[in-house]
């Protein structure tokens, strides 16, 4: 970690902002948090130098980052995709949306690439979360006591096929497959809702598998698929028997805690190519 440059953390929901804040503190790196109102959890940002903006206040956000002396910039956490009518963009955000054009009406990755280019044009260096905490990136292989059997591996392979197809359309990064049947795919509602929905339509017999993988052409510095202990808990509650993530292209938030939770629930967690 480069302690000489100040890091800006654009914080959405979930645990990832907290991991990055802790990494900065442990390394003595100066940092500033830009919390996204309605997305980030204020409790997870406690004690940090923080300012808050609406998602549509891009101009004010850029101004705050410059005022804070930010050089490097990292995006952390979930952000619910807003409808254009509820975004209420300021002038700078409207300019970015105009550049995005029809891409705003498409998938997240196309919009993310436009936003990253705009921020780089402002002089920020956008970096990936795993460059700050290398342990976040998913390794290859089984992570806990439980291992996928042949049936689960077939479901994983089917899930990867489905997620790749979704990714080519810039739709989602996850699917749930049980005994070869696709119980659900991720769209704007996110992974948590996908898992819950899959639990309502599950079949008898061995449970399904949640599969998460990056999109082809993914902007790898922003929005890699991620899982954490909450994912494991929801998967167990939905009757799933395991989780597979793309090694090297997905994040595991709190790997040791995820493995403990999975072992306790009798679920496997595996990193696959």
Check residue 55 and give its pLDDT: 86
Domains of the chain: 7-131 (3.40.50.20), 137-272 (3.40.140.80)
Please state the pTM of the whole predicted model.
0.87
Percent of the chain at pLDDT exceeding 90? 70
Beta strand 181-185 with 174-178 is antiparallel
- pLDDT tens-digit map of 145-193: 999 999 999 999 999 999 999 988 888 899 999 999 999 999 888 899 9
Round the CA-based radius of gyration of the chain to a whole number and report it. 19
Check residue 83 and give its pLDDT: 65
Nearest to 189 by CA among 164, 172, 209: 172
Given a contact cutoff of 8 angstroms between Cβ atoms, the answer to whether 175 and 228 are in contact is: no
| CA distances for 160 relative to 6, 99, 177, 268, angstroms | 38, 32, 10, 17
Which band of pLDDT confidence, cut at 50, 70 and 90, is reported for residue 1? very low
Check residue 97 and give its pLDDT: 72
For residues 211-235, give the mean pLDDT.
92
Q: Which of 56-60, 68-72, 257-261 has the lowest mean pLDDT?
A: 56-60
Residue 137 — φ and ψ, nearest 5°? -75, 135
For residues 17-24, give the mean pLDDT.
94
| CA distances for 172 relative to 83, 119, 166, 208, angstroms | 17, 24, 6, 18
Q: Which residues contact 90 (CB under 8 A, 6 or more apart)?
A: 56, 57, 58, 59, 60
Helix count (H) and strand count (E) of the chain?
A: 9, 13
pLDDT at 106 over 70: no
- DSSP state string for 132-199: T-GGGBPPSEE-SS----HHHHHHHHHHHHHHHHHHHTT--SEEEEETTEEEEE--TT-HHHHHHHHH
Q: Which residues contact 108 (CB under 8 A, 6 or more apart)?
A: 81, 170, 223
3-state secondary structure at position 8 = strand
Check residue 2 and give its pLDDT: 46
Which band of pLDDT confidence, cut at 50, 70 and 90, is reported for residue 225? very high
Beta strand 7-11 with 31-36 is parallel
pLDDT at 12 over 60: yes
Q: Which of 9-18, 111-120, 132-141, 230-239 has the lowest mean pLDDT?
A: 111-120
């Amino acid at each position: 970690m480069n302690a000489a440059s100040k890091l800006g953390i654009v914080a959405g929901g979930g645990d990832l902002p907290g991991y990055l804040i802790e990494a900065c503190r442990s390394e003595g790196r100066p940092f500033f948090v830009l919390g996204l109102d309605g997305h980030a959890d204020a409790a997870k940002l406690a004690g940090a130098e923080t300012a808050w903006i609406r998602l549509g206040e891009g101009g004010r956000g850029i101004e705050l980052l410059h005022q804070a002396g930010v050089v490097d910039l990292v995006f952390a956490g979930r952000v619910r995709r807003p409808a254009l009518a509820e975004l209420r963009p300021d002038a700078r955000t409207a300019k970015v949306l105009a550049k995005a054009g029809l891409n705003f009406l498409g998938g997240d990755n196309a919009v993310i690439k436009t936003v990253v280019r705009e921020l780089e044009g402002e002089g920020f260096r956008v970096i990936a979360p795993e460059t700050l905490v290398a342990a976040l990136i998913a390794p290859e292989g089984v992570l806990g006591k439980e291992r996928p059997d042949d049936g689960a591996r077939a479901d994983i392979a089917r899930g990867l096929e489905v997620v790749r197809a979704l990714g080519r359309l810039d739709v989602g990064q996850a699917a749930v497959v049980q005994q070869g049947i696709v119980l659900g795919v991720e769209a704007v509602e996110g992974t948590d809702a996908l898992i819950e929905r899959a639990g309502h339509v599950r079949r008898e017999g061995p449970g399904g598998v949640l599969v998460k993988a990056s999109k082809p052409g993914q902007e790898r510095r922003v929005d890699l698929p991620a899982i954490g202990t909450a994912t494991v808990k929801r998967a167990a509650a939905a009757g799933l028997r395991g989780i597979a993530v793309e090694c090297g292209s997905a994040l595991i938030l709190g790997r040791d805690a995820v493995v403990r939770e999975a072992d306790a629930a009798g679920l496997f967690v595996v990193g696959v190519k």
